[in-house]
């Protein structure tokens, strides 16, 4: 009965904070710093865009819940390179090596889900909904499907016309410490609190051995000795073997942060959030208060989704998300 009451309380708090955020959005007149972006961007031109995205995302995640992490990661990798412009979706050509062929992007997933959404929307309202908006909406709906916060995002991004492998140098490396993460996120206008909140997306998904085996070559004082054995066992199957970030890999919750308190962070970039005095108290707060994490996460996701967006003639609406018009 206690567990049921606690779960009900968490849901109530999450719903309250979601309503609070939406009220805040209304108070701001639905505007988010850019003249073109707004919550009702497709109200007249393609009014069913959101239910179409949600239905296709939900169907895909019912078949494979692990795709939730993939869709969120796709949005992050898109925004951190050339801004949130769908450039991560573009295929390489004989004359251009695109972002998606970068070593840091080879494990990205969810492209087929984006393609399915685009195909359906093109059949209903051709040339209207950008791939960049589809990626952002799919990530939001993946969060909700996995049990995370429900929130709205501004729409109206245009698709970029540039996708080059060399630009992926802007992505944070899995070996970064807290100071390096703060600098990398700061370049994108995101605060340390927002960085720690966005890192909480690791409540979903897995990491490959190749991204954390550097922690196993010698004694790591920031790594629990028993958990180190778990990671070593995972890596015994090779660099592509996967390790869940936390014990509830398909549930959006705050278990990830509780793992950091026990030195059970998988990547260097995970455990450094608790090891570093710069971010430790934020980790403590999220580990103790899931509602706070949810609230800060959704706000940070909205803000991240506005990084270097393309508008008007600075972008386009691709007919095929994988090919520049």
Active site residues: 77
Q: How far apart are the C-alpha atoms of 53 and 35, rounded to whole Å?
A: 24
CA 269 from centroid of its chain's CA atoms: 15
Q: What token pair was written down for 64? A: 């494979």
Q: Which residues contact 53 (CB under 8 A, 6 or more apart)?
A: 117, 134, 137, 138, 141
Q: Are 163 and 316 in contact (CB under 8 A)?
A: no
Q: Which H/E stretch holds residue 206?
A: strand 206-208
* Rounded Cα distance, 161 and 246, in Å: 37
* Structure tokens given for 129: 């909904």
Distance of CA 183 to the CA centre of its chain: 19
Residue 176: is it exposed, middle or buried by C-beta count within 10 angstroms (0-12/13-18/19+)?
middle
What is the rounded distance in angstroms from the CA atom of residue 72 to the CA atom of residue 138? Answer: 8
At how many degrees (to 10) do helices 49-63 and 67-82 cross?
130
CB 306 within 8 A of CB 216: no
C-beta separation of 306 from 34 below 8 A:
yes
Phi/psi of residue 314, nearest 5 degrees: -75, -5
- Do residues 42 and 49 make contact, with C-beta atoms less than 8 angstroms apart? yes
């Amino acid at each position: 009965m206690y567990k049921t009451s606690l779960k009900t309380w968490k849901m109530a708090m999450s719903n309250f904070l979601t309503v609070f955020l939406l009220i805040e959005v209304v108070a701001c007149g639905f505007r988010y710093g850019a003249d073109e972006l707004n919550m009702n961007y497709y109200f007249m031109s393609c009014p069913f865009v959101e239910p179409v995205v949600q239905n296709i995302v939900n169907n895909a995640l019912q078949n494979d819940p692990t795709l939730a992490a993939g869709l969120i990661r796709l949005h992050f990798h898109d925004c951190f390179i050339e801004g949130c412009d769908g450039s991560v979706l573009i295929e390489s050509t004989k004359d251009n090596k695109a972002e998606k062929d970068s070593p840091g992007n080879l494990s990205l997933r969810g492209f087929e889900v984006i393609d399915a959404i685009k195909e359906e929307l093109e059949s209903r309202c051709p040339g209207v909904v950008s791939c960049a908006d589809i990626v952002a909406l799919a990530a939001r709906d993946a969060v909700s499907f996995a049990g995370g916060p429900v929130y709205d995002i501004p729409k109206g991004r245009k698709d970029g016309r540039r996708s080059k492998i060399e630009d992926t140098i802007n992505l944070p490396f899995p070996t970064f410490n807290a100071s390096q993460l703060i600098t990398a996120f700061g370049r994108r206008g995101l605060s340390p609190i927002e960085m720690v909140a966005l890192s909480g997306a690791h409540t979903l998904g897995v990491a490959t051995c190749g991204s954390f085996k550097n922690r196993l070559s010698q004694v790591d004082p920031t790594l629990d000795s028993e958990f180190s054995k778990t990671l070593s066992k995972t890596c015994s199957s090779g660099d592509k073997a996967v390790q869940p970030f936390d014990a509830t890999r398909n549930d959006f919750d705050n278990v990830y942060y509780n793992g950091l308190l026990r030195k059970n962070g998988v990547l260097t970039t995970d455990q450094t959030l608790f090891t570093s005095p710069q971010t430790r108290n934020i980790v403590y707060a999220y580990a103790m208060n899931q509602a706070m994490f949810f609230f800060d996460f959704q706000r940070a996701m909205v803000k991240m989704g506005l990084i270097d967006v393309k508008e008007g003639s600075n972008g386009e609406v691709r007919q095929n998300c994988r090919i520049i018009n």
